[in-house]
């Protein structure tokens, strides 16, 4: 084991002996482990995460956000007769009541969540029903937090979906070209530059107040929702690091970006990467159905555009990271960020072609 997990898990309010602790999941940001503990003869699982402190500089404030949001949603879930341990992320606090520990040996920051049992986080949509369930999950999550006072939240990653800022970050990576990679990816660079006008549309609507700023999840990938292993129904929304003020067009768009593609996010064979209008409709139905009347006209008018914008932003971030030498998104092989960027651009081309149809579908619901 890379870290002394016996000691780390031992610092939390868990009454048992650690049996094993192994790498788990496919997140790009934190290091996730599945810990199995013997609690009076019973094997109980926990999710242990080493928090990415390169990115999350102020861990106290990050964890305070997560504490506030999970405690709020747990209360709401209990009030409506649900099971908070399963339907919400649940922090296990340390023996002294803290939300995380800083391990003296490695300097790493670790947190522990209760393991959501009998549930799966899918990497690609295997059945339309799963995607529908994820839409209902994120819609329901937004409803749950509708009364949560956003002012309590610390903006963990300022400008996270500020596409104007993202574009200028991209330009900086391009100008620096630290690894001399730009010359090999001119086609992808041009793809980004040609679409600069996309960047300011939602940023401006939020700034002028025409579009409401709401508490949003900001990382609404399919693999950030747990679905019941038997029924396929949604269980919980996870990965709460990026809960911040934002637009529902971002949350909606990010789900579409990831879920309406039957191939993996890093699929090297672009023939397998296609935007599915059928899945788009499935998501719209689930999401708008769950949100009901809380969606404004301006939001509705920009949902389809949000899908293109979030795909553009993500592709641009993957490309910038490729130019930077793969320092942000975890990679397992050379060229992975470039493959990720290319899948996003293929999806954008597809979406641009059927944009009118996407808008019509949104209008329908
Ligand atoms: P990252 O920020 O790196 O994406 P996540 O918090 O999304 O990390 O966790 C990575 C994966 O670990 C998820 O996709 C899911 O498969 C699994 N996971 C995370 N939290 C839980 C939990 N409480 N119960 C069960 N599985 C979990
Ligand atoms: C990262 O942590 P994860 O894997 O759920 C990233 C998202 C990207 C996504 C692309 C904090 O999400 O913004 O859309 O990868 N999270 C952060 O797959 O940057
Ligand atoms: Mg995740």
Query: Is the residue at 29 inside a domain?
Result: yes
| Residue 179 confidence (pLDDT) | 98
Q: Are residues 229 and 108 part of one domain? A: no
Q: What is the number of the ligand 2 atom nearest to the C-alpha of 223?
A: 5
Q: Summarize the confidence of residues 224-249 as an average pLDDT.
A: 96
Given a cut of 60, whether residue 197 has pLDDT beyond it is: yes
Query: Is the residue at 319 inside a domain?
Result: yes
Specify the 3-state DSSP secondary structure of 234: strand
Q: What is the number of the ligand 1 atom nearest to the C-alpha of 114?
A: 23
| Residue 58 confidence (pLDDT) | 96
Q: Are residues 103 and 152 part of one domain? A: no
| Residue 146 confidence (pLDDT) | 87
> How many Å apart are CA 344 and CA 257, to the nearest integer?
8
Query: Is the residue at 122 inside a domain?
Result: no
Q: Summarize the confidence of residues 321-342 as an average pLDDT.
A: 97
CA 27 to ligand 1 center in whole angstroms: 7
| Residue 292 confidence (pLDDT) | 85
CA 223 to ligand 3 center in whole angstroms: 6
User: Helices H, strands E: what count in the chain?
Assistant: 12, 11
Q: Does 232 contact ligand 1 (Cβ within 6 A)?
A: no
Query: Which ligand lies nearest the alpha carbon of 238?
Result: 1
Q: Are residues 138 and 204 part of one domain? A: yes
Q: Are 259 and 162 in contact (CB under 8 A)?
A: no
Largest CA distance in the chain: 62
Given a cut of 90, whether residue 2 has pLDDT beyond it is: no
Given a cut of 70, whether residue 1 has pLDDT beyond it is: no
Q: Summarize the confidence of residues 90-113 as an average pLDDT.
A: 97
Q: Are residues 243 and 203 part of one domain? A: yes
Burial of 67 from C-beta contacts in 10 A (0-12 / 13-18 / 19+) = middle
Query: Is the residue at 54 inside a domain?
Result: yes
Specify the 3-state DSSP secondary structure of 92: strand
> How many Å apart are CA 328 and CA 348, to the nearest integer?
23
Query: Which ligand lies nearest the alpha carbon of 26?
Result: 1
Q: Are residues 182 and 107 part of one domain? A: no
Q: Whose CA is nearest to atom 5 of ligand 2?
A: 27
Q: What is the CATH number of the domain that holds 48?
A: 3.30.200.20
Q: Are residues 234 and 136 part of one domain? A: yes
Residues facing 165 on adjacent strands: none
CA 28 to ligand 2 center in whole angstroms: 6
Q: Are residues 160 and 97 part of one domain? A: no
Q: What is the number of the ligand 2 atom nearest to the C-alpha of 224?
A: 5
Query: Is the residue at 205 inside a domain?
Result: yes
Average of per-residue pLDDT values in the chain: 96
Last residue of a domain, one of 65, 83, 117: 117
Percent of the chain residues topping a pLDDT of 70: 100
Last residue of a domain, one of 81, 96, 117: 117
| pTM score of the predicted model | 0.95
Q: Which domain holds residue 42?
A: 5-117
> How many Å apart are CA 260 and CA 359, to the nearest integer?
15
> How many Å apart are CA 216 and CA 221, to the nearest integer?
13
Note the pLDDT tens digit of each residue in 133-189: 999 999 999 999 988 988 899 999 999 999 999 999 999 999 999 999 999 999 999
Query: Is the residue at 123 inside a domain?
Result: no
> How many Å apart are CA 38 and CA 29, to the nearest integer?
29
Residues facing 334 on adjacent strands: none
Q: Are residues 212 and 256 part of one domain? A: yes
Q: What is the CATH number of the domain that holds 238?
A: 3.90.1200.10
Query: Which ligand lies nearest the alpha carbon of 259?
Result: 2
Q: Are residues 179 and 106 part of one domain? A: no
Last residue of a domain, one of 97, 117, 137: 117
Mutating to test ligand 1, I would choose from 53, 111, 121 the residue with most ligand atoms within 8 A of its C-beta, which is 121
Q: Are residues 236 and 110 part of one domain? A: no
Which range (39-48, 150-159, 256-265) has the least confidence?
150-159
Q: Does 251 contact ligand 2 (Cβ within 6 A)?
A: no
| Residue 150 confidence (pLDDT) | 83
For 56-162, where are the alpha helices, taking DSSP H only?
A: 59-79, 84-87, 128-144
Specify the 3-state DSSP secondary structure of 251: helix
Note the pLDDT tens digit of each residue in 261-285: 999 999 999 999 999 999 999 999 9
| Residue 257 confidence (pLDDT) | 98
Angle at the Cα of 235 from the Cα atoms of 229 and 238, rounded to 5 degrees: 110
Q: Are residues 204 and 106 part of one domain? A: no
| Residue 27 confidence (pLDDT) | 86
Query: Which ligand lies nearest the alpha carbon of 329?
Result: 2
Mutating to test ligand 2, I would choose from 25, 27, 29, 225 the residue with most ligand atoms within 8 A of its C-beta, which is 29
Q: Are 128 and 260 in contact (CB under 8 A)?
A: no
Q: Does 255 contact ligand 2 (Cβ within 6 A)?
A: no
Q: Are residues 166 and 69 part of one domain? A: no
Q: Whose CA is nearest to atom 9 of ligand 1?
A: 27
Domain count, the chain: 2
| Residue 293 confidence (pLDDT) | 84
| Residue 207 confidence (pLDDT) | 97
Q: Does 218 contact ligand 2 (Cβ within 6 A)?
A: no
Mutating to test ligand 2, I would choose from 219, 316, 342 the residue with most ligand atoms within 8 A of its C-beta, which is 219
Q: Whose CA is nearest to atom 7 of ligand 2?
A: 219
| Residue 323 confidence (pLDDT) | 98
CA 9 to ligand 1 center in whole angstroms: 17
């Amino acid at each position: 084991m890379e870290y002394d997990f016996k000691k780390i898990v031992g610092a939390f309010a868990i009454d048992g002996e650690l049996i094993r602790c192994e790498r788990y999941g496919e997140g790009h940001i934190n290091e996730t482990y599945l810990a199995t503990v013997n609690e009076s003869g019973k094997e109980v699982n926990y999710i242990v995460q080493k928090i990415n402190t390169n990115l999350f500089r102020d861990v106290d404030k990050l964890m305070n956000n997560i504490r506030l949001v999970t405690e709020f949603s747990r209360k709401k879930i209990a009030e409506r007769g649900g099971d908070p341990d399963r339907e919400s992320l649940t922090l296990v606090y340390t023996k002294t009541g803290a939300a995380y520990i800083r391990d003296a040996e490695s300097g790493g920051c670790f947190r522990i969540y209760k393991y959501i049992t009998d549930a799966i986080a899918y990497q690609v949509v295997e059945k339309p029903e799963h995607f529908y369930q994820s839409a209902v999950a994120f819609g329901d999550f937004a409803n749950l937090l509708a009364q949560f006072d956003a002012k309590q939240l610390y903006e963990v990653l300022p400008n996270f979906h500020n596409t104007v800022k993202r574009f200028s970050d991209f330009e900086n990576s391009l100008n620096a070209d630290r690894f001399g990679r730009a010359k090999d990816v001119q086609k992808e660079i041009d793809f980004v530059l040609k679409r600069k006008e996309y960047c300011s549309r939602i940023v401006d609507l939020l700034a002028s107040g025409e579009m409401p700023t709401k508490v949003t999840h900001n990382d609404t990938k399919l693999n950030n929702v747990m679905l019941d292993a038997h029924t396929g129904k949604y269980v919980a929304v996870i990965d709460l690091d990026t809960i911040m003020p934002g637009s529902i067009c971002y949350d909606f768009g990010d789900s579409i970006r990831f879920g309406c593609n039957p191939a993996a996010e890093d699929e090297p064979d672009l023939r397998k990467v296609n935007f599915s209008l059928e899945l788009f409709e499935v998501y719209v139905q689930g999401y708008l159905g769950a949100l009901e009347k809380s969606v404004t006209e301006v939001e509705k008018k920009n949902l389809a555009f949000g899908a293109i914008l979030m795909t553009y932003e993500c592709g641009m971030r993957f490309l910038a990271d490729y130019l930077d030498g793969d320092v942000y998104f975890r990679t397992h092989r050379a060229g992975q960020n470039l493959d990720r960027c290319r899948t996003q651009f293929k999806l954008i081309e597809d979406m641009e072609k059927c944009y009118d149809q996407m808008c019509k579908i949104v209008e329908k619901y």
